[in-house]
Amino acid sequence: MVMARSTIIPPSSNPDALRYYLVQYGGRCMARSTMQPGLWRFALRDAGYLAFLPMPKFCRPPLARAVVLSDPVADPAAVPELLRAFLELWPRAVFLDIGRPVVEALRPLGFKAYPIGVESELNLQGFSLSGGARAKLRQWRNACRRAGVSVREEPFEQVDANDILPLRRDWLARKGGREMNFLTRPLPWRDEPDVRWFWARLDGRLLGMAGFDPMYRDGRVAGYYHNFDQTVRDAISGVSAYLALQAMEIFRQEGRERLSLGLSPLSGLNREYDLSRLQFWLMRQIYNYGGSFYPFKGNDRHKRQFAPSRTPMYAASNLTSFSTAILGASACGVI
C-alpha cells in the first residue's frame, strides 16, 4: 500500500500498513488498542497515525467531530504536525487517555485539558515481592500455590473454546452482560503478533486468563500491558494477581523492562489545567460513590497492591465545554 501524505483509513480497511509505526513508536499501553476493529485511523506519511471514532451526526467537515483514542502512535517530534493535519479534517475533537506531552501539543491549538486518572506501571527488572507494600501479593501467591493452581502460557487458539466460553459467560455476567470497546479493546478470539496469553487452571478447570499487549520501543517489545484479566466467580482469591506475577517473572527473565496495569479512572486526581472546582468535586463524588456504574475504587485498590509508579493521564477537548466533550464521547459508546 502506497500511502499519500495524509490518509484516512476507514474501519473496513486492513490497518497492517500502519504496523511499522506501531512497532517503532507504540510505547504507550494503549498503542495496540489503536489497531482494534471498528476504529478509523488518520495517518501522516513518515510521521505516524492516530485512531479515532467519528461522533454521530457530525461525520463530515466542516462540522466533523471525533473522539481520539490515546496518544498518537508516531515519532514524538512529528506529533504536533500530525495533530494539526488531523484537525484540518476533523476540527472538533475529544482526546481520551493522553499523556502530558500530547496535552502540551494540543493546548496551543485551542484545547482545554482535564485529568482523568492515573496509569500504573511496574519496572520489571527491579520488581520484588519483598517488603510490606506488596504483602498482599505474597499472600495471594502462596494461597494459589497451596491450592495447586497452575499457570501456563499458551497461544489463544490452542486453548479449547469449550473451556473459555464458561469463563467468559461468568465474567461478562458480572460486567453488565456486554463487552466494552475503544478504551478497553474487545477480546480478539485469535492470536495476534506479540500478544501473550496466560491461563490458570485447577484440576483441569480454567479459572482465569490474562492477556498482555505489547509495548514497543525502536522496533522491539520493551514491555507489556496487562489488558485482559478475566476469572470465574468462584476462583480462588488472588488468581488474577497470581496470573500477572507468573507472567511478569517470565517477562523479567526475557529482559523486558516495563509492565503497565493501565488506567485507574478518576484516581489520584489533582486540580490542574482546566478542571474547575465543581468538576473536580463531581469527579471525586463519582469515584467515591459510583461503584454501581464502574468499580472505580476496586480497580484502583487492586492495582495499588503492586505498589506501582503512577502517572497522571488526561482528556483534552476543543468543544465548548467539558460536559459537551463527555457527552460526545458517550454518544460514541466509548464511556
Boundaries of domain holding 138: 121-263
Cβ within 8 Å of residue 265, ≥6 positions away: 116, 117, 287, 294, 296, 299
Alpha carbons 335 and 330: distance in angstroms, whole number: 5
pLDDT of 326 higher than 90: no
pLDDT digits (tens, 9 = 90+) for 77-134: 999 999 999 999 889 999 999 999 999 999 999 999 999 999 999 999 999 999 899 9
160 and 142 housed in the same domain: yes
The number of distinct structural domains making up the chain is 2
176 and 58 housed in the same domain: no
Residue 310: inside a domain: no
Residue 306: inside a domain: no
H or E element, residue 252? helix 239-253
Strands 112-123 and 309-317, by their bridges, are antiparallel
Q: Where residue 23 falls among pLDDT bands split at 50, 70, 90? A: very high
Question: Among 73-82, 107-116, 163-172, 199-208, whose mean pLDDT is lowest?
Answer: 163-172
233 and 151 housed in the same domain: yes
* DSSP three-state, residue 324: helix
pTM: 0.91
pLDDT digits (tens, 9 = 90+) for 289-317: 988 778 899 989 999 999 999 999 999 99
If one compares 115 and 324, the residue with the highest pLDDT of the two is 115
Cell numbers for 37, please give them.
Answer: 476493529
Residue 52 vs residues 15, 88, 104, 227: alpha-carbon distances, Å: 13, 15, 20, 19
Percent of the chain with pLDDT over 90: 73
Q: Where residue 180 falls among pLDDT bands split at 50, 70, 90? A: low
192 and 147 housed in the same domain: yes
pLDDT of 3 higher than 80: no
73 and 161 housed in the same domain: no
127 and 241 housed in the same domain: yes
pLDDT digits (tens, 9 = 90+) for 133-157: 999 999 999 999 999 999 999 999 9
What is the per-residue pLDDT for 334?
Answer: 47
Residue 23: inside a domain: yes
pLDDT of 260 higher than 70: yes
pLDDT digits (tens, 9 = 90+) for 227-257: 999 999 999 999 999 999 999 999 999 999 9
CATH code (residue 169): 3.40.630.30
Residue 278: inside a domain: no
CATH code (residue 83): 3.40.630
Residue 315 and residue 325 in contact, taking contact as beta carbons nearer than 8 Å: yes
What is the per-residue pLDDT for 16?
Answer: 83
80 and 197 housed in the same domain: no
What is the per-residue pLDDT for 15?
Answer: 82
134 and 46 housed in the same domain: no
What is the per-residue pLDDT for 170?
Answer: 87
pLDDT of 183 higher than 50: yes
Residue 32: inside a domain: yes
54 and 126 housed in the same domain: no
Strand partners, 212: 196, 226
Q: Where residue 4 falls among pLDDT bands split at 50, 70, 90? A: low
Residue 275: inside a domain: no
Residue 193: inside a domain: yes
pLDDT of 59 higher than 90: no
76 and 42 housed in the same domain: yes
Which of 243, 263, 283 is the last residue in one of the domains? Answer: 263
DSSP code string of 283-311: HHHHHHH-TTT--HHHHHHHHHTT--EEE
